[in-house]
Amino acid sequence: MDKQLYLPFIESVKSILMQMTNIELEPDGECIAEDDEVVSYGVSSIISYSGKLKGRLLLDMEKELALKIAENITGNIYTSTNEYMVLASISELNNIIAGDGITKLNNEYSYGLRLAPPIVFSGRDTVICIPKISSVSLNCKTPYGKMKVNAAFERSL
Amino acid sequence: MLDNIQIDKDSVNVLEKALSEAIVKVIGTTSGFELNNSLLITGNNPLQESQLVGIMFLTGNTNALLAVTMSNKTASTLVSYISGIETTELSDEDIQDGVSELINMIAGSAKSLLKDTKFYFHLTSPITVVGENRLMIHKGTGNKLYKRFHFGDMQINLIHLIL
Amino acid sequence: MSKKILIVDDSPIIHILLRKTLESRGYEVCGDAKNGKEGVEMFKLLTPDLIFMDITMPIMDGIEAAKTIKELNPLAPIIMLSAMGDDEIVSQAKEVGVDIFLKKPFDDYKIVSALSKLE
């Protein structure tokens, strides 16, 4: 996959996470082509976009990181990722990150991408299977836990 | 910017009819199972309860989420009948791929049925999510359609959420 | 008397964040709408002094809601908030008469600056 497509999202994750939560994201390796499935760390958010291209951004993170993100965004402490405001915080974070990424792509390459609202889920032993589309993942770490950023693109028919 | 859609009763019926026809046709044709006894589900969101979910985001004049949910056992049986491979020989990956393909076909079939309606949509790539005790939330307060279909001693839920 | 502000966004998080900033500066949040249609209805009912409006929302999006509100009252101040901020969407917002466009995420400074520009 062309770097020009996924690098804006990687940059957006780092900068928006810092702006919104004051949490520093550190890549743990290089961007790699992803296999068909992602074994979730615990909390995942998926947002899709479409225009001249289609695709989606997946943010997957450990539960402790999700709780800290929600705390830093809302100012409240949470103990469970099943709480609505925790998942709503992750959902909004993903929305803003994806929005920032597609803004860069739209302004640079006129892809006309628009976002659909995200979904977010939390569970035990969750596996997300993503066949039929090529994607790139970057594994990252923060002081509160791990995060995986996965961006996928395909041509619109 | 996208036009706004007023969801009225007739439109919901058009959408429900197309989606029901699509799932019945696809499952019938690919696996030989005849879906019957469908009923609209009220109460708990089936997205939360099932072991396995096949999801597709639909884009168009309205954005929506289309999903099928089922137990692991139902998924394994369906994929076995569709593929002709014994359930004992199917890997987890085969089953997940099979469910992804199923939602892909259902969406594709519904898309043709909704061609000249305001619900016409574009497909995106399907996703399958597997796991226990899963809580799933989505934004959006648009129309929600939950429908359950039975076949044999199994059931499959069809979900359409306007986001 | 403090200015009345209507927030229209389908994200509960945005409502929390905006309310914190606004109330700490003496503004009154008079309504919380979760989609454009609700936003228009609340605008008619509550006659706010200013509206914060998201774009991507179900039932009626922010561009359509802003256009409707401006038709009802061309002088109603609208600050549009969006995760997207490309040239095309900003242009669409301006075409319907939105007064200020802010890209998310926003901090207190951005919100306060936007409010001062409209006062």
**Poorest-confidence range of A99-103, B60-64, C18-22, C51-55?**
B60-64
> Which band of pLDDT confidence, cut at 50, 70 and 90, is reported for residue A57?
very high
What pLDDT is stored for residue B48 in this prediction? 73
Cβ distance of A75 and C20 shorter than 8 Å: yes
Among C8, C55, C57, C94, the strongest candidate for a mutation testing the B interface, having the largest count of B CBs within 10 A, is C57
Answer whether residue A113 shows pLDDT above 50: yes
Cβ distance of B132 and A56 shorter than 8 Å: no
Instruction: Give backbone dihedrals phi and psi of B105, rounded to 5 degrees, phi first.
Output: -70, -40
Q: According to the 3-state scheme, what is the secondary structure of B69-117? A: EECHHHHHHHHHHHHCCCHHHCCHHHHHHHHHHHHHHHHHHHHHHCCCC
> Which band of pLDDT confidence, cut at 50, 70 and 90, is reported for residue B1?
very low
Mean pLDDT calculated for residue range A58-87: 95
Answer whether residue C81 shows pLDDT above 60: yes
Answer whether residue B10 shows pLDDT above 70: no
Answer whether B113's CB lies under 8 Å from B29's CB: no
pLDDT tens readout for residues A10-35 = 999 999 999 999 999 999 999 998 87
> Which band of pLDDT confidence, cut at 50, 70 and 90, is reported for residue B2?
very low
Mean per-residue pLDDT of chain A: 92
DSSP state of B47: H
Q: List chain A residues with CB under 8 Å of C56.
A: 114-117
A88 → chain B, closest CA residue: B137
Answer whether residue B132 shows pLDDT above 50: yes
Answer whether residue B120 shows pLDDT above 90: no
Cβ distance of B63 and A133 shorter than 8 Å: no
Instruction: Give the distance from residue B11's alpha carbon to the nearest chain C alpha carbon, in angstroms.
Output: 14
Q: List chain C residues with CB under 8 Å of B1.
A: 61, 63-64, 92
Mean pLDDT calculated for residue range C93-114: 94
> Which band of pLDDT confidence, cut at 50, 70 and 90, is reported for residue B6?
low
Cβ distance of A117 and B96 shorter than 8 Å: no
Structure tokens at B64: 């929506």
Within A9-157, strands assigned E span 26-27, 32-33, 37-39, 42-50, 53-62, 114-115, 119-129, 135-142, 145-155
Interface predicted TM-score (ipTM) over 0.90:
no
Q: How many residues does chain C have?
A: 119
Of the candidates B124, B131, B137, the beta carbon closest to that of A125 is on B131
Mean per-residue pLDDT of chain C: 94
Nearest Cα neighbor of A53 from A133, A136, A137, A129 is A133
10 Å Cβ neighbour count for B69? 27
**Which residue is it, tokens 């032993």?**
A125
DSSP state of B43: S
Q: How many residues does chain A have?
A: 157
Answer whether residue B4 shows pLDDT above 50: no
Answer whether B38's CB lies under 8 Å from B149's CB: yes
> Which band of pLDDT confidence, cut at 50, 70 and 90, is reported for residue B3?
very low
Q: List chain C residues with CB under 8 Å of B140.
A: 10, 58
Instruction: Report the alpha-carbon distance of residue C95 to residue C101 in Å, rounded.
Output: 12
Q: List chain C residues with CB under 8 Å of A16.
A: 105
Which percentage of chain B shows pLDDT scores above 70?
Answer: 90
Amino acid at B148: R
Answer whether B61's CB lies under 8 Å from B118's CB: yes
pTM of the complete model: 0.89
Answer whether C58's CB lies under 8 Å from C25's CB: no
Residues whose CB falls within 8 Å of the CB of residue B38, separated by 6 or more in sequence, listed in order: B20, B147, B148, B149, B150
B59 strand-pairing partners: B122
The three-point CA angle A6-A8-A13 to 5° equals: 100
Structure tokens at C68: 């409707």
Q: List chain A residues with CB under 8 Å of B100.
A: 129, 131-132
> Which band of pLDDT confidence, cut at 50, 70 and 90, is reported for residue A37?
confident
Mean pLDDT calculated for residue range C12-21: 93
Instruction: Report the alpha-carbon distance of residue A110 to residue A66 in Å, rounded.
Output: 33
Instruction: Report the alpha-carbon distance of residue B103 to residue B85 in Å, rounded.
Output: 19
Answer whether residue C18 shows pLDDT above 60: yes
Nearest Cα neighbor of A99 from A30, A20, A2 is A20
Cβ distance of B136 and A120 shorter than 8 Å: yes
What pLDDT is stored for residue B138 in this prediction? 73
What pLDDT is stored for residue B49 in this prediction? 73
Cβ distance of C61 and B163 shorter than 8 Å: no
> Which band of pLDDT confidence, cut at 50, 70 and 90, is reported for residue A140?
very high
What pLDDT is stored for residue A20 in this prediction? 95
Tally DSSP H helices, then E strands, for chain B. Answer: 4, 7
Subunit partners of chain C (3 or more CB pairs within 8 A) = A, B
Of the candidates B59, B99, B132, the beta carbon closest to that of A123 is on B132
pLDDT tens readout for residues C53-77 = 999 888 899 999 999 999 999 999 9
What pLDDT is stored for residue A111 in this prediction? 93
